[in-house]
Amino acid sequence: MPAHSEFANGFAPAVPQTFEELGVSQPLVMDLILRRMLLEGFSTLAVLSSKLKLSIPLIDATFRMMRQQQLVEVKGMSGNDYNFSLSQAGRSLASERFQMTQYAGAAPVSLVDYSHATKAQSAQVQIDRRTLKAAFGDLVVTDRLLDQLGPALISQSSIFVYGPTGNGKTSIAERMLRVYQDAILIPYAIEVDNQIISLYDPVVHQKLPMDDPEIDPRWILCKRPCIVVGGELIPSMLELRLDEASGIYSAPLQMKANNGILIIDDFGRQLMSPRDLLNRWIVPLDRRVDYLTLRYGVKFQIPFELMVVFSTNLEPQDLADEAFLRRIHNKIYVEAVNQTTFDQIFDRVVNARRVPYEPDSAEYLRKICLREGRTELRACYPVDLLNILASIGRYENRPVTMNKSDLERAAALYFAKN
């Protein structure tokens, strides 16, 4: 069970005991109870408290109000708890509320509380070359590149990573998350104008164990998120999405990535144009706030507390104008690898795979990679060619070997003819 000091910047919301502390209205809580009971048929105060992540006093107060309105019928007792179901009037009202939205999960937090929490948990990174080298320990990264990454990560402003393809830009971007040593609290959902926005996404949020009765259970302890999106990025992924069937909004990518990292991989090769993406984010990157709109036109502000990493093998000047590039303070060029770095990568790859090789295999591989008009060594060549050698071995039902003949055969499959 993490101590409160291990939460980001000490943010630790207490369990609300009153609706004023809860931040959302009692009618909204009643709607949640109605929909939950419509799904389950009957319930108890303890079960509703567990399902909706609300304290017993809040559930009890709402239950008493529903009982006065004859929306529930008590069927008996379980110890000091009530067994109850919806009355006919309750089922009718629940069906009506279910048509509006089917959300019946954890009670949402208010937009005000979410904004406060996001700003309170903004990342504060303390690193030097030694700690950064450890974070990137499974890659061969030069001290020069580390000394560029360090200040950029400490600033927590956006980063433009560019350079020739195949030299580890995406691998470097994905490992930036390792510099964070704390955990953050993310709400299941957020309420805006009585609408529910689902935020917690188990696909992108890595949940951590937490059993702290003093922490508001509407919040989930997670690692800081790292979301990677590539050529599939389209404009709708950056806006609220309303599921017509359930009536529940899904948070956009940048909202799910708050307090973490959003990597735009292969920037410039998306279905949406670079200009459209940059125009969409020119204000958020500058002011650290974003604006979203509900389906019926209500516009609201959310924090933009994330580090956006643009990774591309295209020239920055071909993708963005000077006004936008000025807003990205950190531009890091990942160059093609030199002979020494190439050999270090080769050694790591073959030793990790335990592949026998001839003493001059690295030198011979370099010669293969630089012939036929190719002028640069790429960090990806050793692992890519070894993967082909492994496939050849499986095809011929023999151990993987690395000799000049095998390397020539793998290179013939890998490199296109000029």
Contact 217, 188 (CB under 8 A): no
End-to-end, the C-alpha distance of the chain in Å comes to: 59
Answer yes or no: is pLDDT of 384 > 80: yes
- Phi, psi for residue 83 in degrees, rounded to 5: -100, 125
Question: Is the Cα dihedral 304, 306, 307, 309 positive or negative?
Answer: negative
Tokens for 116? 């406060």
> How many percent of the chain have pLDDT more than 90?
73
**CB-CB neighbours of 254 under 10 Å:** 22
Contact 349, 389 (CB under 8 A): no
Answer yes or no: is pLDDT of 2 > 60: no
Rounded Cα gap, residues 196 and 109, in angstroms: 10
Angle at 389 between CA 386 and CA 391, to 5 degrees: 115
Give me the DSSP letters along 112-174: HHHHHHHHHT-------HHHHHHHTTTS---HHHHHHHHHHHHHT--EEEE-STTSSHHHHHH
Q: What is the pLDDT of residue 4?
A: 45
Rounded Cα gap, residues 418 and 415, in angstroms: 9
pLDDT one-digit tens code per residue, 251-271: 999 999 999 999 999 988 888
pLDDT one-digit tens code per residue, 59-117: 999 999 999 999 999 999 888 999 999 999 999 999 999 999 999 999 999 999 999 99
Mean pLDDT of the chain: 92
Amino acid code (one letter) for 400? V
Q: What is the pLDDT of residue 279?
A: 83
pLDDT one-digit tens code per residue, 333-348: 999 999 999 999 999 9
Q: Which of 115, 148, 111 is nearest to 129 (CA)?
A: 148
3-state secondary structure of 111: helix
Answer yes or no: is pLDDT of 309 > 90: yes
- Phi, psi for residue 292 in degrees, rounded to 5: -120, 160
Rounded Cα gap, residues 129 and 139, in angstroms: 14
Tokens for 381? 């060549």
What domains sit in the chain, N to C, each tagged with a CATH number?
25-105 (1.10.10.10), 117-333 (3.40.50.300), 339-414 (1.10.8.60)
